[in-house]
């Protein structure tokens, strides 16, 4: 899936519930304008990932916001111009943004 004009949202009360109960619940999400959706097995080309330096992730146990990583450097992310998401060969989600 590819989105533009993205807002990365985390519900603090939902995050606190995860910390309290140690159970997953949906409390973090991305809002944006859909550019394209992709079928399973999609793998982005280097051209599709140009100008998208961030590996994006969220872990309620270690941070309060989505985080963008470039190498060893990390940044709080609350918005992003463009995000592309896909499922890798290990059936894990991968999120890149810029």
DSSP collapsed to 3 states, 42-66: CCCCCCCCCCCCEEEECCCCCCCCE
Name the nearest CA neighbour of 30 among 69, 58, 55, 51: 58
pLDDT beyond 90 at 89: no
Q: What was the pLDDT predicted at 16?
A: 97
Q: What was the pLDDT predicted at 27?
A: 96
Query: Averaged over 65-91, what is the pLDDT?
Result: 94
User: pLDDT tens across 13-64, in order?
Assistant: 999 999 999 999 999 999 999 999 998 889 999 999 988 999 999 999 999 9
Going by pLDDT thresholds of 50, 70 and 90, the confidence category of residue 97 is very high
Q: What was the pLDDT predicted at 95?
A: 95
Q: What was the pLDDT predicted at 2?
A: 96
Collapsed DSSP state (helix, strand, coil) of residue 19: helix
pTM: 0.86
Angle of CA points 49, 50, 51, to nearest 5°? 110
């Amino acid at each position: 899936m590819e989105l533009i004009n993205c807002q990365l949202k985390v519900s603090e009360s939902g995050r606190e519930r995860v910390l309290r109960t140690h159970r997953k619940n949906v409390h973090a999400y991305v809002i944006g304008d859909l550019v394209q959706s992709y079928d399973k097995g999609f793998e982005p080309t280097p051209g599709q990932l140009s100008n998208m330096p961030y590996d994006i992730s969220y872990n309620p146990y270690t941070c309060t916001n989505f985080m963008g990583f470039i190498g060893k450097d990390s940044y709080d992310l609350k918005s992003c111009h463009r995000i592309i998401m896909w499922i890798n060969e290990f059936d894990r989600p991968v999120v890149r943004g810029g």
